[in-house]
Amino acid sequence: MMRLSFWLGLSLSVALARAALYKGCQHKVKESIHGPPRGWVKQSPAPPNHIIELKIALPQPNFSVLEQHLWEVSDPDHERYGAHLSKEETDALMAPHQDSVDAVNEWLASHGFAAEHLIRSSAKDWITIRVPVSLAEEMLDTTYHVYYHAESGDSIVRTTSYSLPEVLHEHIDLVQPTIMFGRFRGLKSTLHWAGSSSLASSPASGTITGPAGNQVDASCNNTITLTCLRQIYNAVGYNTSATNGNKIALTGYLGQYANIADLEMFYQYQNPAAYGTNFTFVSVHGGINNQSMAAAGIEADLDTQFALGLTYPTPGTFYSTYGSPPFIPDAMENSSSDNEPYSYWLDYVLSQPDVPQAISSSYGDDEQTVPYSYATRVCNGFAALGARGVSIMFSSGDGGVGDGDADPATQECYTNDGRNVTAFVPGFPASCPYVTAVGGTVNVPETAVFFSGGGFSNYFPRPAYQGTAVQGFLDKLAPGTYEGLYNPYGRGIPDVSAQAYNFLIVYQGEEGYVAGTSCSSPTFTSFVSMLNDARIDAGLPTLGFLNPFLYSKGLTGLNDITEGNNPGCGTEGFNSTIGWDAVTGLGTPNFETLKELALAA
């Protein structure tokens, strides 16, 4: 109690009186995992003064109502298509029941937390508190440890099980960080970064035929520029508006800073008209904007250069969300632990009345390292954005059917659930059915790029909009193919794809090539933003959550990719086939056709 009063400066007697309410109330395990995921080793007890930023999720009893709205306003065959909800409407549908709010308030008060110590999300469905490890251990009847990940050198403070008073189980969905060991990372395969030394010395001259039947510079077969993407995806000559209200946004995490000097140099090379312009910087949860050249992030540079370069003069936003750097165990005593940054980013955007209508995110985790409870809540947040008319794109992953941690050919993939059996490793948030997952292609004519993340979710069932397309793919597999390695009833990944190899960017003042589904997500997002631009000019609402449109009326606006495969986990992965496949989804955009379809939807 001394420590508590010291921390929160509150009255000991009040805290003691409140604590009495929970006396004798039995703690019961809320969530546990078999052990830390592969690669993590328990090192030492967590220092008692280490600060943890605990996020507590209160149930959303009306989420199914929100989901129903999402399906209706996103379905081009429904009379409510485009009738997006307001922030107030989605907040009301995400809100917890007052009984849950009261019960959790009482519990927190019993541990000395007054209203002013709690940070609540806009819908009041998340509460954040800062607590020392010692108090978190008491509240959750658990013991935190420092875990070490040899391959990355990261250390984190986690546990493998936590408990809550039994009466609170129905009022709390989850508390994190506890059992989450995800290693959220940028989906740019560093494997493929190559500086200027490997630039194609003499790009081929002349033209070749692109997927839409138009002419494309032959050099686009080995070097991807803004001009190439406009040509390949049939959007040459389409002009966007700077002032019609349309916006595009990129997310940055993990100290990835978008460098403006790099952006300007890129514009000089690839879009001189945009030279001198930049983006709106938005700091989330203390994210900074470090413009030192040495702090430029390859992921953030890629995302901003291609998305803003393709859609210029559409106003762009770059969100910089603070994420904990890897800990140095020696300094852990006075440092603090956060959650994964998606939830902070979601808290922020969901609290804003106006959100850019197309947003790309090139970050992800192995689905199995994100607890089901947490993945579900984050996914629900994306549903709320979709219902509000925002299109959210995620890279599908850079490890084919595996996790991208190792050479796809030799990679071993094991489940985390204690069974330790071999299984494919889908990525999250790409596996969330309320986002558009973007896989990768290479060359002209386009084929699947070998690392294109694809497969099937083990958490989320196949959504109705995928029914026919995904069943068609499964029906074509030879009987018994990869039996037991994937969940044939799961949400199929990806939905669509775009070029993902040999993107020519400027990074720390130097031109060089980069590859990864980190290239394809901002690319696809740019064409979605152009579609929104056309819809806004025509007086129509934006496209919002895209998938129901893409799998129905938009289908003929996508170039089907039928060659290539995505090896991983010691297998050849899936094959790209006619129709949807678990490598390139429905295919790549044909902008002019999609525009006609989107304007008619």
Ligand X SMILES: *[C@@H]1O[C@H](CO)[C@@H](O)[C@H](O)[C@H]1NC(C)=O
Contact residues for ligand X (CB under 6 A)? 38, 62, 65, 92-93, 208, 221, 237, 239, 260, 278, 288, 290, 292, 294-295, 331, 333-334, 414, 420, 443-444, 477, 481, 572, 574-575
Burial class (CB in 10 A: 0-12, 13-18, 19+), 141: middle
In terms of residues, how long is the chain? Answer: 601
Q: Report the nearest approach of ligand X to the CB of residue 291 (Å).
A: 6
Annotated active-site residue in 53, 173, 299, 301: 299
Distance of CA 113 to CAs 164, 169, 375, 509, Å? Answer: 16, 19, 27, 49
163 or 571, CB closer to ligand X? 571
Question: From CA 259, how far away is CA 334, in angstroms rounded?
Answer: 31
Q: How far is the CB of 250 from ligand X (least distance, A)?
A: 15
Tokens of 313: 């003069």
Coil, strand or helix at 546: coil
- The DSSP letter of residue 195 is -
Phi and psi at 390, nearest 5°, equal: -105, 135
Q: Which of 67, 217, 303, 366 is catalytic?
A: 303
DSSP 8-state code for residue 159: -
The one-letter amino acid at 4:
L
Residue 264 annotated as catalytic: no
316 three-class SS: strand
Contact between 517 and 501 (Cβ < 8 Å): no
Cβ-based nearer residue to ligand X, 85 or 597? 85
**Residue from 545, 595, 477, 439 nearest 67 by CA:** 545
Shortest Cβ 218–ligand X spacing (Å): 7
Closest to ligand X by CB, 165 vs 564, is 564
What residue has token string 């395969």? Answer: 189
State the Cα–Cα distance between residues 124 and 375, nearest whole angstrom.
18
Least distance CB 555 / ligand X (angstroms): 23
CB atoms within 10 A of CB 138: 13
3-class secondary-structure state, position 374? helix
For residue 479, say if its preceding peptide bond is cis, omega within 30 degrees of 0: no
Asked if residues 256 and 322 have their Cβ atoms less than 8 Å apart, the reply is no
Nearer to ligand X, 47 or 557 (CB): 47
Of 241 and 552, nearer to ligand X (C-beta) is 241
For residue 179, what are the CA distances in angstroms to 34, 184, 516?
10, 15, 29
Least distance CB 294 / ligand X (angstroms): 4
- Min CB(512)–ligand X separation in Å: 19
* Residue 517 or 577 having the CB closest to ligand X: 577
Integer-rounded Cα radius of gyration of the chain: 24
Of 22 and 275, nearer to ligand X (C-beta) is 275
In angstroms, rounded to a whole number, what is the distance separating the alpha carbons of residues 8 and 115? 12
| Shortest Cβ 208–ligand X spacing (Å) | 4
Alpha-carbon distance 490 to 456, whole Å?
5
The active-site residue out of 518, 521, 526, 529 is: 518
Respond yes or no: is residue 303 known to be catalytic.
yes
- What's the closest the beta carbon of residue 16 comes to ligand X, in angstroms? 27
Give me the least distance between CB of 214 and ligand X, in Å please. 13
Strand partners, 55: 128, 176
Contacts of 14 (CB under 8 A, 6+ apart): 109, 112
Strand-strand pairing, 363-366 and 185-186? antiparallel
DSSP 295: G
Nearer to ligand X by C-beta: 175 or 274?
274
Task: Say whether 338 is catalytic.
Answer: no
Distance in Å, CB of 222 to ligand X, minimum: 7
Residue number with the shortest CB distance to ligand X?
Answer: 295
Amino acid at 600: A
In whole angstroms, give the CA distance from residue 148 to residue 154.
6
367/553 with CB nearer ligand X? 367
Token pair of 560 as six digits: 């089907």
Phi, psi of 575 (to 5 degrees): -100, 145
Which residues are within 8 A (CB) of 98 and not within 5 positions of it... i.e. 6 or more apart? none
Per-position DSSP letters for 150-181, written without gaps between them: TTTTEEEEE-SEEEEEGGGGGG-SEEESSS--
CB of 443 to ligand X, least distance (A): 4
Round to whole Å and give the CA distance between 369 and 433.
18
Nearer to ligand X, 65 or 538 (CB): 65
- Residue 361 or 447 with smaller CB distance to ligand X: 447
Quick one: which H or E segment has residue 65? helix 63-74
Q: Are 247 and 315 in contact (CB under 8 A)?
A: yes
**Residues marked as catalytic:** 299, 303, 518
